Amino acid sequence: MQRNATTRYPILLVHGLFGFDRIGRFELFHDVKQALREAGGQVFVPQLSATHDNEVRGQQLMLQIERVLQGTGAGKVNLIGHSQGALACRYAAALMPKNVASVTSVSGPNHGSELADALRRALIPGRLPEQVAEQIATRIADFLSLLSGQPALPRNAVAALNALTTAGVGEFNSKYPQGLPAIWGGHGAERVNDVRYYSWSGTLQDDWLQTLDPVHAVCRAMSEHFVVDAGQNDGFVGRYSSHLGTVIRSDYPFDHLASLRRPDGPRKPGLDPVELYVEHAIRLKAAQL
């Protein structure tokens, strides 16, 4: 039986750091977008800078929200942001709440990333290590943009790193606190300024299927940099750092990138990460969003 996930307002899938819409035949949100459209959803994937701070990317998102509203005639949009994309969504919702029905954070660093903290400590501001790292990150972003045909959006790798640290997100949160939990590991307000807030994320849970995935291996290596959320992270974002609004669940058995793609080869029944997006669209529909 075909499920109905036809939400009242269009859905925008917002990518995070180094994200893109399409490279050749490969689309970052391919499985998610296809599943939502098959269930009746109206879905768009905005283009944001591959590397920049949260507010610059949020401003870019706001412009594209306006275009979607003009093109569809809708009054609002539902924003679903993966990783740093969640922070861009939060920014847009804080500044234009009348045009945003909901914000959903998927594996979002809503209190910063301990991995970003470790990288920031390893780089010496204004000296060679930072310059080399910035050049490498910029080249990667430029390469992805070239392949994807992405517009010539501004890019700033150091600004992106600083914006993802605990201190950087803490400063961001002081200006845009909507949906944040009052206590560590708790839930935040479900509705602020008539915008609904939701979140879900995963943690590294090794099994024989995941050991065959090289991306999972990278996430496992990165997880060694976590202290506060040691053993409770997805390799890039800590479990409790991801909490925002109504926390649907924060310990799905997904690494950071698995929360937006179907794994190659066999997978456990009932643990398809893409289905979470369809289920959430049904949830938004039920809430008349």
Whether 285 shows a pLDDT value over 70: the answer reads yes
On whether residue 243 sits in a domain, the answer given is yes
CA distances from 32 to 80, 150, 224 (A): 11, 20, 29
Is residue 50 very low, low, confident or very high in pLDDT (cuts 50, 70, 90)? Answer: confident
More confident residue, 164 or 155: 164
| Higher pLDDT pick, 96 / 139 | 96
Measured from the Cβ of residue 80, the count of other Cβ atoms closer than 10 Å reads 27
Tens-place pLDDT, residues 213-236: 677 777 888 888 898 998 899 989
Provide the annotated active-site residues.
83, 234, 256
pLDDT top residue among 18 and 46: 46
- Which residue's structure tokens are 């909901």? 102
The CATH number that applies at residue 28 is: 3.40.50.1820
Question: What mean pLDDT is predicted for residues 168-196?
Answer: 96
> Angle at Cα 117 formed by Cα 231 and Cα 107, nearest 5°?
55
What is the rounded average pLDDT for all residues in the chain?
84
CA distances from 197 to 23, 65, 124 (A): 31, 17, 37
Q: How confident is the model at residue 10 (pLDDT cuts 50, 70, 90)?
A: very high
Residue 94 lies in a domain: yes
Give a yes or no: residue 195 inside a domain.
Answer: yes
Q: Is residue 1 part of a domain?
A: no
pLDDT tens readout for residues 69-126: 999 999 999 999 999 999 999 999 999 999 999 999 999 999 999 888 887 777 666 6
Q: Quote the pLDDT of residue 218.
A: 79
Q: How far is it, in rounded angstroms, from Cα 16 to Cα 204?
A: 19
Length of the chain as a residue count = 289
Give the angle subtended at the CA of 277 by the CAs of 275 and 282, to the nearest 5°.
95
The reply to whether 133 falls in a domain is: yes
CA distance 157 to 147: 18
The predicted structure's pLDDT at residue 23 = 37
Is the pLDDT at 181 greater than 60? The verdict is yes
Q: Is 4 part of a structural domain of the chain? A: no
- Whether residue 49 is contained in a domain is answered as yes
How many independent structural domains does the chain possess? Answer: 1
What residue numbers bound the domain in which 62 lies?
Answer: 11-286
What pLDDT, on the 0 to 100 scale, is given for residue 280?
A: 96
